[in-house]
């Protein structure tokens, strides 16, 4: 088995450096614009940090390929090939960043032959670092991570995110899905504004499950490795295998809770990262 540990070491270094740039910029004046919808925000720091990460990695690994949130928004094709590929969200939780709400992260995933090999997620406001390498466990600041083993959904805390669409039909489905989770009943539902940090809470056992329509491959890639290596499952909302480009996911500590959520959800169509990046088809 190839050893990608050198790439992981470089990913940790650049995630920390990028996270410090984000933390510093969080205190400054921000120039904010929007992308696919008025609530899909982006700042100059998103662009600066993605450029810092990709230029550093490209210099070190010139034969590798890169998928970045802001490069994709600028029209660069979002294509996962068999080549070693870095999958980057420079600021996950940009709306939180704009409001100085602390749930903001840098996420760096890495795949080879379309298989996720490692993930690094750095929580910018407190320096917490989540890492995992396929077959080698998941860690938070060096301490081993384990998912919740809860199988009873009535004892579960469920996390989700809203996504960028706010049209009435989408909101009806989103709220209908949340209503199903609340009336299961579960212990509760939480939305923190950063899918990567929410997914890290599944890996740490702080919550039992996560579901979402509307996130992207760069929100899922790193976190999927961290959850799997913490003993959890990361699947498609259909109950099948995760499709990294499908803009939908269910993740849970136990398959029982994942399967329960799959049965409850009504789908929201956001298109695909590799064919319809704005999901406005």
Ligand X SMILES: O=P(O)(O)O[C@H]1[C@H](O)[C@@H](O)[C@H](O)[C@H](O)[C@@H]1O
CB 121 within 8 A of CB 11: no
Q: Does 243 bind Mg ion (CB under 5 A)?
A: no
Q: Is 91 annotated as a binding residue?
A: yes
Catalytic hit among 50, 92, 208, 273: 92
What are the residues binding ligand X (CB under 6 A)? Answer: 40, 69, 89, 91-94, 161-164, 193-195, 214-215, 219
Supply the DSSP string of 25-42, one letter for each residue.
HTTS---EEESSSTTSEE
> How many Å is the Cα radius of gyration of the chain?
17
Site for Mg ion in 54-93 (CB under 5 A): 69, 89, 91-92
Q: How far is the CB of 253 from Mg ion (least distance, A)?
A: 22
Spell out the residues 6+ positions from residue 223 whose beta carbon is closer than 8 angstroms to its own: 107, 109, 119, 121, 195, 196, 199, 200, 203, 234, 251
Determine the Cα angle at 85 with ends 202 and 57, to 5°.
100
Calpha distance 108→33 (Å, rounded) = 23
Q: How far is the CB of 188 from ligand X (least distance, A)?
A: 18
Q: Does 219 bind Mg ion (CB under 5 A)?
A: yes
Cβ-proximal residue to Mg ion, closest one = 92
Residue 92 bears catalytic tag: yes
Binding residues for Mg(2+): 69, 89, 91-92, 219
Which amino acids are annotated catalytic?
69, 89, 91-92, 94, 219
Q: Name the residues that contact Mg ion, by CB under 5 A.
A: 69, 89, 91-92, 219
């Amino acid at each position: 088995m190839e050893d990608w540990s050198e790439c992981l070491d470089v990913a940790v270094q650049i995630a920390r450096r990028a996270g410090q740039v984000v933390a510093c910029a969080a205190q400054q004046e921000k120039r904010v614009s929007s992308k696919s919808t008025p609530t899909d925000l982006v700042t100059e720091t998103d662009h600066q940090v993605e450029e810092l990460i990709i230029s550093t990695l490209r210099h070190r690994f010139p034969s590798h390929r890169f998928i970045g949130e802001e490069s994709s928004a600028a029209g660069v094709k979002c294509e996962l090939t068999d080549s070693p590929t870095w999958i980057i969200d420079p600021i996950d939780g940009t709306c939180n960043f704009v409001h100085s709400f602390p749930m903001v992260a840098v996420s760096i995933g890495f795949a080879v032959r379309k298989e996720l090999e490692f993930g690094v997620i750095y929580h910018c406001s407190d320096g917490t670092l989540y890492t995992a390498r396929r077959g080698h466990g998941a860690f938070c600041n060096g301490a081993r991570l384990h998912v919740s083993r809860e199988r009873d959904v009535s004892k579960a805390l469920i996390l989700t995110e809203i996504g960028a669409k706010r049209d009435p039909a989408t909101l009806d489905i989103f709220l209908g899905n949340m209503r199903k989770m609340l009336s299961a009943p579960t212990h509760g539902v939480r939305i923190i504004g950063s899918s990567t940090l929410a997914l890290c809470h599944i890996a740490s056992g702080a919550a039992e499950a996560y579901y979402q329509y509307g996130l992207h491959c760069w929100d899922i890639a790193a976190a999927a490795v961290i959850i799997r290596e913490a003993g959890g499952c990361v699947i498609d909302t259909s109950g099948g295998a995760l499709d990294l480009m499908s803009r939908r996911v269910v993740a849970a500590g136990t398959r029982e809770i994942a399967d329960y959520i799959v049965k409850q959800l009504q789908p929201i169509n956001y298109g695909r990262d590799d064919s319809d990046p704005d999901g406005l088809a």
